[in-house]
């Protein structure tokens, strides 16, 4: 799996999350590392990765002055090989009870050999039972000097305020399609595999900001084409069941020019080629939303890394007369209803056809 092979081994390799990287570097170089961190955020965005990097840097025998680990001393290699005695990872989803936390406490009280830090990573910490949580809280109240806790969760709203007040919290962000695209391209280069750039971007855009999901998708594509040296964009779409990126602008073009028959034809061709109509409806609404945001203020999209692709920019300027804000809002409402209708429709593509007719009158 690519995502294991390409887990960042130093801070430099981390994509995005620069607010976290910089603060951790600062803490390491100034010697002011907290005893407890809380890493919150969506899955696959680097929480475990950064927790492990913090552990490596803390105990590295040759830490750089920027706070990076050397990734080659005994302590670093032990972490890389998953046999470090100073890094303890607990999955709270499967170890939820008070006994686990009692064991953890006992282990925390024993100093790490060689004056090193003991780092405990507790993943999905919101899953702990109430008793276990309270026991953890007790430890966090008076943590031993050589211990650093990294609590990770995808659901920070489930954390008690008593815990929140004792940790330094970092909120991990979804990665932008551009950031994901960049990392996938880097990996492919190292693997010596050529994938059509549109296919790579399609993967990046379909993974909802989770780099791991994108890497898993890419692994799947590669695994199902391992006799090929060049993977085409259709290979990508077919093996992942993705809706091609050019479907949305094509469809919107028919709506913008009022071409009823081509729009209906498109719906039926897409359906018979195996496109999931529900997925298409939501994808199209999401697409319209981005166009709308662009017409209001392009910098909104740029700031979250969702700027339009060249093909979309061209479309917006070609059809600027037809794609007014009002019209876009109307289309979105119609397709949101169509998406709802699909669930109960006896003919899957019918709600999309009705949506076309409603918009084009």
Ligand X SMILES: Nc1ncnc2c1ncn2[C@@H]1O[C@H](COP(=O)(O)OP(=O)(O)O)[C@@H](O)[C@H]1O
Residue 211 near ligand X by CB under 6 A: yes
CA atoms 270, 272, 275, 277: torsion sign: positive
Pattern 215-254, binding to ligand X, x per CB under 6 A? x---------------------------------------
Q: Which of 9, 45, 48, 153 binds Mg ion (CB under 5 A)?
A: 48
Residue 53 near ligand X by CB under 6 A: no
Residue 8 near ligand X by CB under 6 A: yes
What is the rounded distance in angstroms from the CA atom of residue 202 to the CA atom of residue 21?
28
**Interface region with ligand X, contact rule CB under 6 A, candidates 64-72, 83-91, 210-218, 282-290:** 210-218
User: In this structure, are strands 36-40 and 118-123 parallel, antiparallel, or unpaired?
Assistant: unpaired
What is the rounded distance in angstroms from the CA atom of residue 324 to the CA atom of residue 292?
8
Residue 69 near Zn ion by CB under 5 A: yes
Residue 185 near ligand X by CB under 6 A: no
**Interface region with Mg ion, contact rule CB under 5 A, candidates 48-56, 187-195, 246-254, 350-358:** 48-56
Pattern 28-47, binding to Mg ion, x per CB under 5 A? -------------------x
Partner whose footprint covers residue 349, from Zn ion, ligand X, Mg ion, none (CB < 5 to 8 Å by kind):
none
What is the rounded distance in angstroms from the CA atom of residue 248 to the CA atom of residue 288?
9
Partner whose footprint covers residue 9, from Mg ion, ligand X, Zn ion, none (CB < 5 to 8 Å by kind):
none
Pattern 24-63, binding to Zn ion, x per CB under 5 A? ------------------------------------x---
Q: Which of 24, 27, 36, 45 binds ligand X (CB under 6 A)?
A: 45
CB of 66 to Zn ion, least distance (A): 13
Nearest residue to 20 (alpha-carbon basis) of 154, 150, 208, 155: 150
CB of 238 to ligand X, least distance (A): 24
Nearer to ligand X, 99 or 171 (CB): 171
Site residues (CB under 5 A) for Zn ion?
60, 69-70, 73, 76
Site residues (CB under 6 A) for ligand X?
3, 6-8, 14-17, 43-49, 183, 211-212, 215
């Amino acid at each position: 799996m690519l995502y294991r092979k390409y887990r960042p081994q130093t801070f430099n390799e981390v994509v995005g999350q620069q607010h976290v990287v910089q603060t951790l570097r600062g803490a390491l170089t100034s010697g002011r590392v907290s005893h407890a961190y809380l890493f919150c955020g969506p899955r696959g965005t680097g929480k475990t990765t950064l927790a492990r990097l913090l552990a490596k840097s803390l105990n590295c025998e040759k830490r750089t002055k920027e706070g990076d680990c050397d990734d080659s001393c005994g302590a670093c290699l032990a972490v890389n090989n998953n046999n470090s005695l100073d890094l303890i990872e607990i999955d709270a989803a499967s170890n939820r009870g008070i006994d686990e936390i009692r064991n953890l406490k006992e282990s925390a009280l024993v100093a790490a050999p060689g004056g090193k830090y003991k780092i405990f990573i507790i993943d999905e910490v919101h899953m702990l039972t109430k008793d276990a949580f309270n026991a953890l809280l007790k430890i966090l109240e008076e943590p031993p000097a050589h211990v650093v806790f990294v609590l990770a969760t995808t659901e920070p709203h489930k954390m008690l305020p008593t815990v929140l007040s004792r940790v330094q919290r970092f909120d991990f962000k979804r990665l932008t399609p551009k950031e994901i695209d960049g990392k996938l391209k880097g990996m492919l280069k190292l693997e010596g595999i050529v994938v059509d750039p549109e296919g790579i971007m399609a993967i990046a855009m379909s993974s909802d900001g989770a780099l791991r999901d994108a890497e898993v998708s890419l692994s799947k594509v590669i695994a199902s084409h391992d006799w090929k040296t060049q993977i085409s964009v259709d290979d990508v779409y077919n093996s992942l069941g993705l809706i091609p990126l050019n479907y949305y602008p094509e469809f919107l073009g028919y709506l913008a020019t009022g071409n009823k028959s081509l729009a209906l034809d498109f719906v039926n061709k897409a359906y018979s080629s195996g496109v999931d109509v529900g997925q298409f409806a939501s994808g199209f609404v999401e697409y319209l939303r981005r166009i709308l945001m662009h017409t209001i203020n392009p910098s909104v999209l740029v700031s979250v890394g969702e700027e339009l692709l060249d093909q979309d920019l061209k479309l917006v300027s070609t059809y600027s007369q037809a794609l007014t804000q009002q019209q876009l809002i109307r289309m979105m409402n119609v397709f949101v209803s169509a998406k709802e209708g699909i669930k109960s429709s006896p003919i899957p593509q019918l709600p999309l056809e009705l949506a076309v007719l409603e918009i084009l009158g």
